[in-house]
Structure 1
Amino acid sequence: MHSRCRAGKYCGFADAATSLVQGGQDVTVQGADIVDCAIDWHLRLSTASEHDWLRFTEWLEADAEHAAAYNRVLEDDILAAPMLNLATEAQGSVVRIEGRRDGWRKRRGWIAVAGGALAASMAAMVYLPSTQPGAAAPSSIVTAPGEKREMTLADGSRVEMNGGTELVMDSPRQVSLVRGQAVFHVRHNPAAPFQVAIGDVVLRDVGTVFDVSNEAGRLGVQVAEGAVTYQPDRERLTLHKGMALSARAGDDRILVRSVPAEAVGGWRQGRLAFREAALREVAAEIRRTTGHDLTVATPVADMPFTGSIRLAGNAEQDATHVANLTGLSARRAGSGWILTSTRDAPN
């Protein structure tokens, strides 16, 4: 028996027939019926099976209007955000998830991505506990601080690794980001979603471009295309193209902010952007990206910084630039540089 959405049209749900073709004729829905199907998919995805995700991807790709309707549903979901207890800040929103998390282990949820009419830009990203068995002999790929590396995988997907990054290739479509940062250009294949594991959670993707960072318990995800729905436990949050999500292990808050879509993975062009990041975190990211030995004196290490830093590639210039932006002093410390309060700087 075919499953119907509220409009009585076939939407391709998992309990429908395996084909969306009935009697040799393609089943299509139009107008408000498409929106009804989009709403039904949005409601079903919180408990979707693997087969459901494949059917959802097929439905999105069947017609550009399907993706457009689903995006409108996601936008309406954002407008209904008060149910999430959102606390709006100047540049972003903080979502408090009830109950503190023990590392990443209990930060469960899924991310579903839709948007764009072409199959290559469609994505379904899932955030859930890792259950995939590891490959027999996973290989580890490591970049030194300041080193960049680009790889083309067997399936045609590409990975751009920042410095100070470690990736473990568990299988042709499954990698683990142990530490560091990378941009993934995933080749579309809904039958075999690409997986990026971070600790005990997984980002699952079937075809898009996104940036992921994992550093000292801080997780960051930036999406350059489509729309992303993040659902930890029962609560739901939607990110659109040009938005970013930040979370910390052991914290029950998730920061959502806007970023220019073209700025996603800006480290590749020597651009780093921060929002309320501790200076020690800023210095760590500069070290990772450039290889410069830059540290921050303990009294100012936790001073928050919001802004964009354009790296020159020269250790002295970059240290001086950051010092000017933060009202600190930069001075030599052995073979590197240290940022200190101006009152602590030697005369």
Structure 2
Amino acid sequence: MRAIDALRDEAVAWLIRVQSDQATADDWAALTAWLEASNDHLAAFEEIEDLAAELDARAAEIAPAVNTTASLVVPLRRRAALPVWAAAAAAAVLAAIVGPMVWRDYQGTPTVYQTRPGETRQIVLADGSRIRMDAASTLRVQLGWRERRVQMAEAQAAFDVAKDPGRPFLISVGDQQVRVVGTEFNIRHYDKTVRVTVRRGIVEVRQPALGSTPVARLVAGQSLSHVEGAPKSVQTSADPDPAFAWTQRRLVCDDETLGDMVAYLNRRYPTPIRISPALASRRFSGVLELGDQDLVVKRLAGYFSLSVHRTDRQIELR
């Protein structure tokens, strides 16, 4: 118990140190080293952060009892004479007054980016990285001190990551993690299938459930395909241009099934296209210009000798 109390005391001291107006870059670097030295350090610091968050939420109740910031600072300089939780509470109130939560800054503030069906979007992050999002996609981005993280749901996105060797760019997609420090690549994550294609630089792919050893290191002109839950991935040589073609409003198909094509077009356009299960296995090779939806549907219908039936709510190919 004394060891836990001692760690809480240290966490309080760190919180006060880095939230001070006199905090320097060296102070922040020292805190980072302390947090990374032990999981117990991190747990103690998060405990103090939780208390600070609770007191911040109850600021209206606490404010009348707080006369001045100085009244908080003086006793903390002799915190050994205070019960640990009294010191922690005082430090938490001080943190709420002085500035934002340290640990949130350390991890980075999460930001969610979304596109609707039929909408694409380009994002420029604070570090200079650029992300082009395809339609019906969701990304959650956190730019922390030591890592840049992205969580990728059902989505397709092209990444041009600003180089920063001291702060790797980590993308969690399905049951895999993609790690880079500065490169250009495309990730497609639909229907529990992940496909990574590299245009520039080196991309490291891990499967956390299999351990920390990378399952692949991809260079320009290489691609990796993986089905979630499978123990292995398939790595091949690949021209990256077809994977990036969607950014130029084109869909490049190489023996693609009509079912997969329609599933993608239903993300790309707001009016859904319907086909029967019997048609889904038919295949197509070629390039579709992703302009007007009616023209796309007309070309597909012509290639497969189908008829088009359109209502206000959907387009049916028969």
TM-score normalised by length of structure 1: 0.52
String of CA shifts for 1:101-148, please: whole Å, max 9, x gaps. Answer: xxxxxxxxxxxxxxxxxxxxxxxxxxxxxxxxx947522211001111
Equivalent position to 2:283, from 305, 312, 316:
305
Residue 174, structure 1, aligned to residue 141, structure 2 = no
Structure showing greater relative contact order (alpha-carbon pairs closer than 8 Å, 6 or more residues apart): 1
1:263/1:141 CA distance change after superposition, 3 Å: same
Equivalent position to 1:321, from 296, 299, 306:
299
State the distance in 1 between where 2:151 and 2:282 align: 30
Contact 2:178 2:205 in 1 (8 A): no
State the distance in 2 between where 1:245 and 1:306 align: 22
Contact 2:174 2:192 in 1 (8 A): no
State the distance in 2 between where 1:240 and 1:273 align: 22
State the distance in 2 between where 1:230 and 1:293 align: 34
Cα deviation for residue 308 of structure 1 reads: 3.3
1:253/1:297 CA distance change after superposition, 3 Å: farther
Cα deviation for residue 165 of structure 1 reads: 0.4
Contact 1:267 1:289 in 2 (8 A): no
Of 179-188 and 137-146, the range deviating more from structure 2:
137-146
State the distance in 2 between where 1:214 and 1:164 align: 11
SS at match of 2:265: helix
**Larger fraction in strand:** 1
SS at match of 1:265: helix
Contact 2:139 2:151 in 1 (8 A): yes
String of CA shifts for 1:252-286, please: whole Å, max 9, x gaps. Answer: 56444444333442101111123454422211211
| CA RMSD of superposed structures (Å) | 3.0
1:222/1:194 CA distance change after superposition, 3 Å: same
Residue 109 of structure 1 corresponds to which residue in structure 2?
A: none
What residue identity is the alignment partner of 1:151?
I
1:227/1:159 CA distance change after superposition, 3 Å: closer
Equivalent position to 1:331, from 305, 309, 318:
309
The share of aligned pairs that are identical, in percent, is 26
1:200/1:211 CA distance change after superposition, 3 Å: same
Equivalent position to 1:146, from 107, 118, 121:
118
SS at match of 1:187: coil
Unaligned runs of 5+ in 2: 1-105
What residue identity is the alignment partner of 1:323?
A
SS at match of 2:309: strand
**Larger fraction in helix:** 2
Contact 1:223 1:264 in 2 (8 A): no
State the distance in 2 between where 1:275 and 1:250 align: 25
Residue 68 of structure 2 corresponds to which residue in structure 1?
A: none
1:157/1:228 CA distance change after superposition, 3 Å: closer
Equivalent position to 1:156, from 128, 131, 139:
128
Map residues 72-111 of structure 1 onto 2, 5 A cutoff: none
Map residues 266-281 of structure 1 onto 2, 5 A cutoff: 266-281=245-260
Instruction: State the number of aligned residues.
Output: 207
1:212/1:267 CA distance change after superposition, 3 Å: same
Residue 291 of structure 1 corresponds to which residue in structure 2?
A: 270
TM-score normalised by length of structure 2: 0.57
Larger Rg: 2
